[in-house]
Chain A
Amino acid sequence: MKSRLARAAYRRLGGHSAAKLTRLNGYDHQPKYPRLLIKLLFAITAGVLPAWQTQADTTAQAIAFNCRNCHTTDGAATAPPTLDNLSAPRIRESLLAFKYDQKPATIMPRIAKGYSDTELAAVADLLGRH
């Protein structure tokens, strides 16, 4: 293994400087979100969003939380793709294709097989609500 080359490749793959990453990811070092803004957001959306009361909905949410482990940042070349611009049907289609080995990928086929088709559809519906 040629280390210098490898390191250059690694940088290409996304080993950026902290400053550049901050720009890429759109994250500030010291975000200061006014409390009022947060409260406002909660207030507005709490009224607008439908109440999720069924067991199926809470299960879907519990599953969807785990998508955020990998799909929270975007912009860096090597990050798993962001879900924020994908529609629910698109996400559902992908999840089912991963599960039934119709869409090649490194890790998603292994993960999607852990859930029923109904669960995957409900997760897609949640993630697709923009």
Chain B
Amino acid sequence: MAACSRRRFLQFAAASPAALLSGCSLFPGKSCSKAHVVVVGGGFGGATAAKYLRLLAPELRVTLIEPKTSYITCPGSNWLFADLTDIRQLTVNYRALSSGYDIKLITDSVSRIDPAGRRLTLAGGQTLGYDRLVLSPGIDFHWNTLPGYDAATAEIYPHAWQAGPQTLLLQRQIQAMPDGGMVLISAPAEPYRCPPGPYERASMIACWLQQHKPRSKVMILDAKTGFSKQKLFEAGWAKYFGYGGGDSMLEWHSIADNPLIELDTATGTLYTDFGDKFQGQVLNIIPPQQAGRIARESGLTDTDGWCPVNAMDSSSRFEKHIHVIGDAARYAPIPKSAFAANSEAKACALAVVSLLKQQAPPDPQWLNACYSLITPEHGISVAGVYGLNAEQRVETVKGAGGLSRGNDEREERLEAGYALGVYRSLVVDSFGSAYST
């Protein structure tokens, strides 16, 4: 296999000089030889940034800091609920990045950043200097927005919004639920990681219930008045689950003006402001979110908890030498997705390499494409092309992007396949290799 992968690597190199080798020819003149770029967080954003920094500027020193030795992708994790995948298939490691791309990997977490001294401290005590820092720490939760829902309660009523043990816990609870039971999903207000995620999850759970516990139901209680790909989801739900009818397996209720105010952990009951009461055998509570802790503790966030950036070069509005990408940063209208984190990372890598060579960064080009499965054979997508406007802010390119056409079985089937194919491609493009074992 080693020979095979090497051939593959050479093919990639030959096939995509643009992607791999153009570094210093793209930026002639000064080299960034002695510069050290540290990437914090080995998720989709950080992994992609580290890889593309190396591809663009082979002479650069690139260090990636991530506490976990393997990473379980959130993308694909909803498919687990319909038995379409397993955790092993959703797990990647960092070996391809460290040995294939010559990236120095440190398995630890960053406990402190000193922007003035351009140094950071690891939990293990070691300190590290940097010329530029790329931060992609993902999200943390706003606990107790729903009183009583905190990290400990999440071990009883999972959020499953960071893939891994939480995902498996939710799956076990659904499997253990008696037929006729109710799965409640509480969906947060914007902005949050993966806008279509709760609705894909409800679809996948309904697929499984229909087969194994057909008298059961899944109900979404939504803090919003509408949601991503709503028309496409609702059409699919009507077709497969009787959505909109009296005995639908799947229900969606907006509680935007009647928010949840209490969780009775003893009975699994949710109470709303107006006194409505929802009881479920399984409760999946997806709390509101904010940038990962290290971003907040380093003074990189606004009062809303997210990191504002200069979109032109992805630098923090507060610290010139720190670049923030992925879910933690505010790139709206780009949604918080793995696809977008990957795209932001590439724009960031181009900017960082330019800045190190004291050149103006190229205009950033961002893309998002998110697939969701309604059933294993019915996929839908939303796409968006983004650029900078005259005020140097992120703007959706008009006339491009948008939703799947809908109501076309051939395309639905094709897009179900692409959901899978694109997932795999995105993982390989970001982490340098497909699977860990």
Contact = CB atoms under 8 A, between A and B. Distances in A.
Contacts of A26: 4-5, 7-8
Given A13-B416, A29-B436, A70 B26 contact: no
Contact of A110 (B23, B401, B428): B401
Contacts, number: 261
B18 A70 contact: no
Contacts of A7: 83-84, 376
Interface string A22-60: 100111111111010111011001100111110101111
Contact of B25 (A9, A29, A51): A51
B76 to A, nearest CB: 11
Given A107-B383, A115-B385, A70 B426 contact: yes
B95 A58 contact: no
A49 B22 contact: yes
B18 A69 contact: no
Contacts of A64: 18-19
A126 to B, nearest CB: 4
Nearest to A126: B18
Interface residues of A, number: 70
A63 to B, nearest CB: 5
Contact of A62 (B82, B89, B364, B424): B364
Contact of B434 (A15, A22, A58): A22
Given A22-B435, A59-B362, A73 B369 contact: no
A111 B26 CA distance: 25
B211 interface: yes
B235 interface: no
A22 B1 contact: yes
Contacts of B435: 18, 21-22, 27, 29
A53 B28 contact: yes
B404 A106 contact: yes
Given A6-B375, A68-B19, A14 B89 contact: no
Interface in B207-262: 207-208, 210-211, 240
Interface stretch (B9-17, B126-134, B161-169, B270-278): B9-17
Contacts of B369: 69-70, 107, 111
Interface string B350-380: 1000000000001111110100000111000
Given A1-B210, A7-B84, A33-B99, A15 B420 contact: yes
B339 A45 contact: no
Nearest to B366: A66
B381 interface: yes
B399 interface: yes
A64 B18 CA distance: 8
A75 B16 CA distance: 18
Contact of B15 (A35, A57, A114, A130): A130
A114 B413 CA distance: 25
B4 A28 contact: yes
Interface residues of B, number: 92
Interface stretch (B105-113, B193-201, B299-307, B341-349): B341-349
B421 interface: yes
A73 B358 CA distance: 35
B434 A27 contact: yes
B433 A76 contact: no
Contact of A31 (B377, B429, B433): B433
Contacts of B178: none
Contacts of B313: none
A72 interface: yes
Contacts of A10: 84, 376-377, 416
Interface in B292-333: none
Contacts of B96: 30-31
B16 A127 contact: yes
A31 B100 contact: yes
Contacts of A55: 362-363
Given A31-B95, A69-B429, A21 B424 contact: yes
B390 interface: no
Interface of A: 1, 3, 6-7, 9-10, 13-15, 18, 21-22, 25-33, 35, 37-39, 41-42, 45-46, 49-53, 55, 57-66, 68-73, 76-80, 83-84, 106-107, 110-115, 126-127, 129-130
Q: Which 7 A-B pairs have the closest CB atoms?
A: A114-B385, A78-B417, A114-B400, A79-B421, A28-B5, A58-B362, A3-B211
15 contacts: A1-B377, A14-B421, A27-B5, A27-B8, A27-B433, A28-B433, A31-B9, A52-B22, A53-B28, A62-B347, A62-B365, A68-B16, A106-B404, A111-B369, A126-B18
Interface of B: 1-2, 4-26, 28, 52, 58, 82-85, 88-89, 95-96, 99-102, 207-208, 210-211, 240, 339, 342-343, 346-347, 350, 362-367, 369, 375-377, 381, 383, 385, 397, 399-402, 404-405, 411, 413-418, 420-422, 424-426, 428-429, 432-437
